[in-house]
Structure 1
Amino acid sequence: MKADIVFMNGEVVTVDDDNSVVESVAVKGNHIIAVGSNQEIQEYISHETNVIDLHGKSVLPGFIDAHLHLTIYGTNLLGVSCIEPHIQSLEDIFIDLQKKAEEAPKGQWVRAWGFNESKLKENRFPTRQELDKVSTDHPIVIIRTCNHTSIANSRALEIAGITEDTVNPEGGIIGRDENGALTGTLIENAHMQLFEYASYTDEEIRKGMKLASDEFIQAGITSIHDAGAYGDGAESLRIMQQAIKEQEIRVRVYAIIGSLTNSHDFVERVVKAGLISGLGDDYFKIGPAKLFTDGSSVGPTIATREPYSHNSNDYGITYYSQDELNRILGEAHKKGFQITAHAQGDRAVEMVLDCIEKALEEHPRIDHRHRVEHAGISSADLQNRMQKLGVIPIPNPVFMYVNGDKYLEYYAERVNVMYPLRDYIDKGIIAAIGSDAPVTFVNPLLGIHAAVNRKSWKDQLVGENQRIDVLEAIRAYTYNGAYASFEEDKKGSIEVGKLADLVVLDSSILHAESEKLKDIKVELTMVDGDIVFQSKQLVSK
C-alpha cells in the first residue's frame, strides 16, 4: 500500500500508550497507515506520494477541544468585539457600537461581546443610560466575557418585558440601583433569558458557524465538544448538521445536549424523543445531556462551600435544587445518555457528583463516562469521588492565564485545587481540556502553556502545584478528549488505523521553552486526510 501523503523528518508526537515520538507518518485516504522512522516509512512512498519534509517540526494528533460554544463563538464574530487592542475604555466600545448601529436597520439587535470591566480604564460596567445614548432605535446588549452577565439598553429590556416590577428569575438577578431603577445589568438566568429575544436569524447562525469552524481549523482543532448556545438548542443542532453536510463546518462535532437558556427543557425534549449519546457518524454525534448548576468563576457567581475570599457573605448561586438535578439528569442516565453539568464551584461539583452517584446506584452502568464541565474548584474529597465513580472532569487551564489574578482575589488558597490537572493525573483521573471559547481564547497552544506554567497573563503564579508537563498537556488536549466522547479507538493519537486528523506546528513543541509555548503557531491542519489549512507551503520532496 502506498501513501497519499507522508510527513517525514519531523517530531511526531504520537500520544500512544508509550508516548512514542517518531520521525514520520503516512496517510492513505482518511486514515493513518504507518508510523515510524524515516527509513521505515520509505516503503509507503511512490512517485505519486506527496512527501512533506518537516525539518524537525512537531506533528501532533489534531487538537480536541472538549468544551467550547461553536454557535456563540461564530455569532460573536458578527458583532462588536470588546477584546480588540484599541478597546481601552467604555467610550471606545460606545464608538464601535454606534458604528454598528448606523449600519443596522432600525430595530435590529446590536451586540458586543468579550466585555471585561477589569481591562478598561473605568473598571466598571456601562449603564443602561449610557447605552441609550448610543441608540434607542436599536436594542443593544453587551455580553461579558464570562457569558453569564450582560448589560442591555432600555429598548432591549422593553423587548424582553423587563420592567422595574419584574421579579428576579430563579438563579438570576436583574440589576437595580439604590432607588430600584433598572441599571441594565442582567446576571445568570436573567441574562440567559434575554437571549430568548436577542436571537440571531438562521442565516446569521450558519454564517457564524462557518467563520468559527474556519478559526478552529486554523488553530489546529479538528474535533470539538460543542457545549450549547442560547435559545432553542434543537434549532442550533439542526443548522449545525446542515452546515456539516455542506462542509461549511470542517471540524468534527460531539454535540452536548444543553442550552444556555432553559437547559432542562431541551434535555427533557431530547430524552423523550428517544435519542441517546453516541448516535451519529464521525463528523457529528450526539453527546451528553447537560444542565447548568452554577455560574461564572470570574463573575463571580459560582456555588462554593465556603464564602468568597473577598466577600464573606457570598456563596454564589445555583440553578437547580439537588432533587431537580437528580430527576432530570437521572432520567437521561436511565435512558442511556452520558450526563454532565456545568459546575464551577465546589458546592456545585458536589451536587453533580451526588447526582451521578444516585443515578448509578439506581441504574448501574459500566463505562458510562459521565462528565463534569469545568469542575472549577475540585478539592481532594471531590477528586477522590471522581476517581471512584469514573467521572471525567473537563477543566479549562487557560482560565488561569486569563483570570488567575481575579481567582487569587476571589478564592485565595483554593486556586491550588482549581482545574487541578496534576492531581487528576496522579490519581488516574482522565481529564479532557476545553477552552470554553468564546469565554476565553480558543488557541490550544495557549491552553497547553497555561497548564504547564500556571501563570496569569500578568505573570503571577496561580496554583503552581497543579503544573503538568508538555506531553501530559498534549494528551489532555487530544487522546483524553477522544476518550471523553467514546472515540479513542478512532482518533486522539497518531496510530495505524486511526483517522488522519493531524496538526503540524511551526517548531518543536517538546524542545520549546515552557514560557514560549503560547508563541508556537500552527502551520498545517489535516482533517480526514484532507489538508484544510496551511499557513504557508511546506516543502515537498
Structure 2
Amino acid sequence: MRLDTIIENAQVVTLDPERPTAGRIGLWRGRVVGLDDDVAGLDAVEMIDAGGAAVLPGFIDSHTHLQLTGQGLLAIDISAAGTVDEALTIIADGSASFAPEQWVEISGYDQRVIGRDLTAAELDRAAGGRKAWARHISSHSSVISSSVIRDIPGAVDRDFAERNLGVLHEVEQDLVRAQRLPFSLDEAGRTIEIAAEAARRQGVTFCMDAGAGGRIGSLNPLDISTHLRLLESGRIPVRMQLMPSLDALHPVLGGHGDGFERGLDVGLRTGLGSDRLRIGALKVVIDGGMMVRTARLTEPYEGSDERGQYSIDPEDLIAGIVDGHRAGWQLAVHAIGDEAIDVAIEAFRQAASHGGTIDRRHRIEHGGLIRPDQISVLAGLGIAIVSQPSFLYDSGDDFVAQMGVSRAPWLYRGRSLTDAGIRIVGSTDRPLAGSPLRAVQVLADRTSSSGAIIGDGEQLTVAEALNTVTVNGAWIAGMEDRLGRVASGFLADFTVLERSPIDVDISEIAAIGVRATVLDGAWNEVS
C-alpha cells in the first residue's frame, strides 16, 4: 500500500489515552491510517520531516464571529490608543483619504482603555463629517456619528441616540445596523476569508460561527450562501459549523401540528451539511456582556445599582429555547451573568419536560459567572459550558473589580465544573479572546495580564486544558468519532507547534509558535 503522506520525526501528542504519543503518522485520503509501527516500511507519495515539531489534533474554536473579526481587520483599528485624543487622531489619519460618502468603520474600541466612551461629536470631527461606526470589541455597544443619527428613521429613536451622545447598547445597535447592513455576498465573504486565515495562523482547523443570519454576528442574512461560495472556490482554510441565530428563525406553517412553531426555510436544522461545512446549534442570546456591564446578574455590579439586562423578555427567551429543542435543534445559549444562567437552566428544565431527549449536547455560551449552587444543576441537565478562558487574561482584573472579592472565584470556572462532570469547551469568541494556546494557558494558571491569579483552585492540568480545544470541541460538534484526536481512522486535521504545551512551563504556552496546520491531510505552513 502506498500512502499519500507520511509525517515523521514528529513529537505527536495524540490526546488519545490508548496511545498518547507517537513519532510518525501515515495519511491516506485525508485520514490517519496508522502511527509509528503501523506504517513502518510503507511508502508514500509525500514524505514530510517535521523536524521534531509537536503535532497535536487541530484546534477547534467552538465560538467565533468570523464576519465581525474580518470586518474589524478591514476597519480603522484604535486598539493601540490609550486616550480619547489618541483614538481620535488614529481615526482622523485613517479616514483622511476616504470619499465623503464612505463609511468610517472603527475596530478595537474599548471605553475601559481610553477612559470613557467616545461621543458622536468627537466622531464627527475625527471622521470629517462622514458616517462613522465605532464597534466595541465585545459587540455589545457602539458609538455612531451625527450623520448616522440624522438618518435614523423615527424622531423617538433619533432623540434617544442624540441624548446618549451616539452611544448604543445591545439591541439599540439595530439603529446603525439598519443603515450599514447588509454587506454584499462578496464583501461578507471577504471578511470570513481573512478572519478564517487569521484563525488558521493560530493553529485553528475548525471554527463554529455563532449567530448566522441574525442580529449579532452576521453581515448578510444569506450566510449559508456566503459560506458555500467560499467552500466551492477553495477560499476557506478551516472546517465550519454555522450556528443560526434565534432571530433568523420565523413562524413555519408546518410546525403547529408538530409541537414547534419556528424554523428556517425548508426545515434547515442542526446536522445538515458535510464535515467541511454544516449547520450547527441554534444560537439564543439571553443577556449582554461584562465589558459594558450588560451581563445580567442577581446582585448588582460593585459600586452601583446596575444588574445588566436581558436581550428580550425572559419568558419569550424560554419559549424560544423550548421551541427550538422540540424542533430538534442543539441549543447554544448565550448566558454570561448568573441570573441569565438561571434563565437558561429554567429553559433547559422546561425543554426536558416537553418531550424529546435532553441529551442533545445543549450548551451555554460563555458562562461567565456561575454560582456554586448552579454547578450541580447544570451537571444534572448535561449542559456543556463553551468558555472563553482568555477573558480572564485580557479583562480579568476589570471583571474582578466589577464582581468584588466574594464573586471573583465564580468567573469563567474550570476545576469546579470539570470535577462535577461538566464539559468545558474552549473558544476565543474571536475577535475578542486571544488564541487557543492562550486559552490553554489561562485554564492552567488562571492568571490575568497583571499577574493576578483569579479563582485559585479552579486550575486545570495542561492535558485537561488541551482537551477543551480538541476532544471536547469535537464532542460538542458531534464529531468525536473522527476529530479531536490523532488516531487511526480519524480525519487528518493537525496543529503543528514549535514545542509541545505539555513540555514547557505553563507561563510559556501562549507564546509557542505555530508552524503549520493540516486539514484533510494537506500541510499548510504558517509563514
Work out which of the residue numbers 121, 130, 153 in structure 2 matches 1:129.
121
Q: Tell me, yes or no, if the aligned pair for 2:78 and 2:90 is still in contact at 8 Å.
A: no
Report what 1:24 is aligned to: 24
Counterpart residue type for residue 526 of structure 1: V
CA separation in 2, counterparts of 1:18 and 1:32? 15
CA separation in 2, counterparts of 1:355 and 1:418? 22
Report what 1:171 is aligned to: none
Work out which of the residue numbers 407, 420, 429 in structure 2 matches 1:414.
407
1:50, distance to aligned residue in structure 2 (A): 1.0
CA distances 1:107-164 after superposition (whole Å, capped 9, x unpaired)? 22111112123323xx11111111111235421011111110111110112223375x
1:266, distance to aligned residue in structure 2 (A): 10
**Structure 2 residue 203 is the aligned partner of structure 1 residue 220:** yes
Report what 1:64 is aligned to: 60
CA distances 1:174-197 after superposition (whole Å, capped 9, x unpaired)? 566xxxx34111111112442122
Report what 1:105 is aligned to: 99
CA separation in 2, counterparts of 1:431 and 1:193? 36
- The two structures have a TM-score, normalised by structure 1, of 0.90
**Structure 2 residue 232 is the aligned partner of structure 1 residue 241:** no
Q: Tell me, yes or no, if the aligned pair for 1:66 and 1:433 is still in contact at 8 Å.
A: yes
Report what 1:211 is aligned to: 194
Work out which of the residue numbers 161, 169, 173 in structure 2 matches 1:187.
169
Report what 1:35 is aligned to: 35
CA separation in 2, counterparts of 1:287 and 1:437? 18
Q: Tell me, yes or no, if the aligned pair for 1:13 and 1:58 is still in contact at 8 Å.
A: yes
Q: Tell me, yes or no, if the aligned pair for 1:175 and 1:187 is still in contact at 8 Å.
A: no
CA separation in 1, counterparts of 2:318 and 2:169? 25
Alignment of 1:140-159 (within 5 A): 140-159=132-151
Say which is worse superposed, 89-98 or 23-32, in terms of deviation. Answer: 89-98
CA separation in 2, counterparts of 1:28 and 1:303? 50
Work out which of the residue numbers 405, 429, 441 in structure 2 matches 1:449.
441
Report what 1:8 is aligned to: 8
Counterpart residue type for residue 176 of structure 2: L
Say which is worse superposed, 153-162 or 462-471, in terms of deviation. Answer: 153-162
SS in 1 for 2:198: helix
**Structure 2 residue 188 is the aligned partner of structure 1 residue 201:** no
**Structure 2 residue 272 is the aligned partner of structure 1 residue 279:** yes
Counterpart residue type for residue 82 of structure 1: I
CA separation in 2, counterparts of 1:272 and 1:239? 16
Report what 2:49 is aligned to: 52
Compared CA separation, residues 49 and 128, structure 1 to 2 (3 A): closer
Report what 1:514 is aligned to: 506
CA separation in 2, counterparts of 1:231 and 1:390? 29
CA distances 1:192-223 after superposition (whole Å, capped 9, x unpaired)? 44212222333221111111111111111000
Compared CA separation, residues 19 and 197, structure 1 to 2 (3 A): farther
Report what 1:539 is aligned to: none
Identity rate of aligned residues, in percent? 25
Compared CA separation, residues 273 and 353, structure 1 to 2 (3 A): farther
1:534, distance to aligned residue in structure 2 (A): 3.5
Q: Tell me, yes or no, if the aligned pair for 1:220 and 1:522 is still in contact at 8 Å.
A: yes
Q: Tell me, yes or no, if the aligned pair for 2:188 and 2:219 is still in contact at 8 Å.
A: no
CA separation in 2, counterparts of 1:22 and 1:310? 54
SS in 1 for 2:207: strand
Q: Tell me, yes or no, if the aligned pair for 1:61 and 1:494 is still in contact at 8 Å.
A: yes
- The two structures have a TM-score, normalised by structure 2, of 0.92
Q: Tell me, yes or no, if the aligned pair for 2:68 and 2:218 is still in contact at 8 Å.
A: no
Say which is worse superposed, 87-96 or 124-133, in terms of deviation. Answer: 87-96
Q: Tell me, yes or no, if the aligned pair for 1:234 and 1:266 is still in contact at 8 Å.
A: no
Counterpart residue type for residue 235 of structure 1: L
1:415, distance to aligned residue in structure 2 (A): 2.5
SS in 2 for 1:255: strand
**Structure 2 residue 277 is the aligned partner of structure 1 residue 290:** no
Report what 1:75 is aligned to: 71
1:236, distance to aligned residue in structure 2 (A): 2.6
Q: Tell me, yes or no, if the aligned pair for 1:341 and 1:371 is still in contact at 8 Å.
A: yes
Report what 1:355 is aligned to: 347
Compared CA separation, residues 291 and 264, structure 1 to 2 (3 A): farther
Report what 2:258 is aligned to: none
CA separation in 1, counterparts of 2:389 and 2:277? 26
Runs of 4+ deviating beyond 4 Å: 229-233, 262-269
Compared CA separation, residues 464 and 263, structure 1 to 2 (3 A): farther
CA distances 1:198-255 after superposition (whole Å, capped 9, x unpaired)? 2233322111111111111111100011012445763233212211221111211110
Compared CA separation, residues 213 and 489, structure 1 to 2 (3 A): same
Q: Tell me, yes or no, if the aligned pair for 1:342 and 1:372 is still in contact at 8 Å.
A: yes
Runs of 5+ unmatched residues, structure 1 = 169-173, 536-541
Q: Tell me, yes or no, if the aligned pair for 1:233 and 1:266 is still in contact at 8 Å.
A: no
Compared CA separation, residues 338 and 53, structure 1 to 2 (3 A): closer
Q: Tell me, yes or no, if the aligned pair for 1:2 and 1:49 is still in contact at 8 Å.
A: no
CA separation in 2, counterparts of 1:364 and 1:457? 45
Runs of 5+ unmatched residues, structure 2 = 253-260
**Structure 2 residue 71 is the aligned partner of structure 1 residue 95:** no
Q: Tell me, yes or no, if the aligned pair for 1:258 and 1:266 is still in contact at 8 Å.
A: no
Compared CA separation, residues 306 and 88, structure 1 to 2 (3 A): closer
1:19, distance to aligned residue in structure 2 (A): 6.9
1:488, distance to aligned residue in structure 2 (A): 0.8
Report what 1:166 is aligned to: 157
RMSD: 2.2
CA separation in 2, counterparts of 1:433 and 1:192? 29
Alignment of 1:335-414 (within 5 A): 335-365=327-357, 367-412=359-404, 413-414=406-407
Compared CA separation, residues 114 and 237, structure 1 to 2 (3 A): farther
Compared CA separation, residues 95 and 162, structure 1 to 2 (3 A): farther
CA separation in 1, counterparts of 2:430 and 2:484? 20
